[in-house]
Structure 1
């Protein structure tokens, strides 16, 4: 029962944000064109703030051992490479290719790893999860931007692509955060507090907007993409990564944090990125919603398996 509550408490708030946005639109309080403009604002203003603050706030907490860092980075990169090679052979539309690749490798690591790791392992779990967030999230975002740019359909040239990547609002926020960290620039408390609050607001606002632009009828139309993508995302990848942790004899805390990189739902940020960068925004939003709902059961399943086998 405790494991069920952990999974439910981690997932249900996200569903509440999405459903609240959906019913606000259905009630006629806002219209869809307005919410799409809001989506652009979140992508260009709020996500850079969140990227800056996550890097600035978590950089000092990087404490995992080198083996975990190395294995985690290699695992993410290999997952991206495999998806990049396989998905275009199956999916023919460029707008959908980038979205599906992003959904396969990019998890809602920031908002699931911390509460799950803290609930199960306390402060030790929170410390390792925070450290890995600072390392993995920039990799998620950099490759998401590159992949979406690649599948825009234009001729790809290295310098223009690099320029678009570096000018992306999320990368800009991360680079500014890196400058502050490297130079040791402290933020005054009166400035850090509102930045932290804007950062905390980003995901609920993005999910609210996602719900307000969601059409459940199109979810059925996209089922042939959604179902296999989520099967890989929530079952196949976590199973493969669990075998990696067992083969490399990870300790229980590291094993669990590592698994949350692959077993948690599709990142909420993937929706506004896809919608603003030439991807299929509707499909991206449906993957976020469907994976968040399904993960109530799959997260419980993985936690139950790990605890039953004595692996955490």
Structure 2
């Protein structure tokens, strides 16, 4: 059991680490310049990630029954962590640009690119319906959290109406709404368009991880060490643990609970870098957090899988 769980974790995480390392190597060798990174991040933010989110929402099975408890869990546990993090950061002396990255890093994971492949690898057949609806719920909530993170600590005073307008105008939010509408009304995309969406969604993960690697500045991890300790612990330990305990209190078990916890345990979303760049926040902290959370998630995800298998959750 121990060896099989370790092997599974390595099969999932190792390719991601290697792709990130390739990106770092290409930047060190001058194949990718630092001046090109903001352009790549904009491309990821406005095209690749929205297409990936739309793809998973469009194909999700939203008609599965008996998901009320799981739905409440997927919304309440991350919301609790988000509120507690906000309260703590309000008292912190960190500048607002770093606060936005910290709350984003702790609360928002790579649901579409890391969590979804992990969950679908664990379950097959009828259980994929549970996976898809939980992914849709958590992806929507994470999108809202991610956008709010860069407005609640903004140096300029922004009206609530404008802030929520920005939330709903986000390419992430629009892609989720469009995917849900087409899904709910059973509207099929033309074959050519569906092929384009499928192909773009396949490009997203490797391209985003290469850009992540190219943006790594290992010299900055020393200055950010203390903050990174808090953000990575919050993302990889506190959030999934909160999801697990809340799920047990709700009486959940099996695929619903395992999927929710695995998604919560996913490392930071690649979007943290592109969003930090777009909102003029601490891009170096965002890049370091994304890289290190991805690296250490191999350990934490392995531990969660081992616990679930050992105690017979799946």
On whether the aligned pair clears a TM of 0.5, the verdict is yes
Deviation, structure 1 residue 279? 2.3
Please give the alpha-carbon distance, in whole angstroms, between the structure 1 residues aligned to 2:246 and 2:313.
Answer: 13
The answer for the alignment partner of 2:224 in structure 1 is 222
SS at match of 2:91: helix
SS at match of 2:187: coil
The answer for the alignment partner of 2:75 in structure 1 is 73
Please give the alpha-carbon distance, in whole angstroms, between the structure 2 residues aligned to 1:96 and 1:62.
Answer: 40
Alignment of 1:1-312 (within 5 A): 1-58=3-60, 60=62, 62-63=64-65, 65-312=67-314
The answer to whether the 8 A contact 1:64-1:128 is kept is no
Bigger share in helix: 1
Deviation, structure 1 residue 229? 1.6
Deviations 1:250-272 (A, max 9, x none): 22212211211322211222221
The answer to whether the 8 A contact 2:62-2:132 is kept is no
Deviation, structure 1 residue 218? 0.6
Q: Structure 1 stretch 130-139 or stretch 82-91: which is displaced more?
A: 82-91
SS at match of 2:158: coil
- RMSD (Å) for aligned C-alpha atoms: 2.1
Unaligned ranges ≥5, structure 2: none
Deviation, structure 1 residue 160? 2.1
Deviations 1:9-56 (A, max 9, x none): 221222122111111111111211022212112212222222322222
SS at match of 1:299: helix
Kindly report structure 1 stretches of 4+ aligned residues shifted beyond 6 Å.
Answer: none
Please give the alpha-carbon distance, in whole angstroms, between the structure 2 residues aligned to 1:254 and 1:102.
Answer: 25
Deviations 1:201-230 (A, max 9, x none): 122212211211211111121111101221
Q: TM-score, normalised by structure 2?
A: 0.91
The answer to whether the 8 A contact 1:62-1:130 is kept is no
Deviation, structure 1 residue 64? 5.5
Residue 178 to residue 243, structure 1, CA distance change in 2 (3 Å): closer
Unaligned ranges ≥5, structure 1: none
Please give the alpha-carbon distance, in whole angstroms, between the structure 2 residues aligned to 1:60 and 1:200.
Answer: 22
The answer to whether the 8 A contact 2:50-2:175 is kept is yes
Q: TM-score, normalised by structure 1?
A: 0.92
Q: Structure 1 stretch 20-29 or stretch 263-272: which is displaced more?
A: 263-272
Please give the alpha-carbon distance, in whole angstroms, between the structure 2 residues aligned to 1:118 and 1:184.
Answer: 23
Please give the alpha-carbon distance, in whole angstroms, between the structure 2 residues aligned to 1:252 and 1:58.
Answer: 19
The answer to whether the 8 A contact 2:40-2:211 is kept is yes
Deviations 1:49-69 (A, max 9, x none): 223222222254655521111
Please give the alpha-carbon distance, in whole angstroms, between the structure 2 residues aligned to 1:170 and 1:117.
Answer: 21
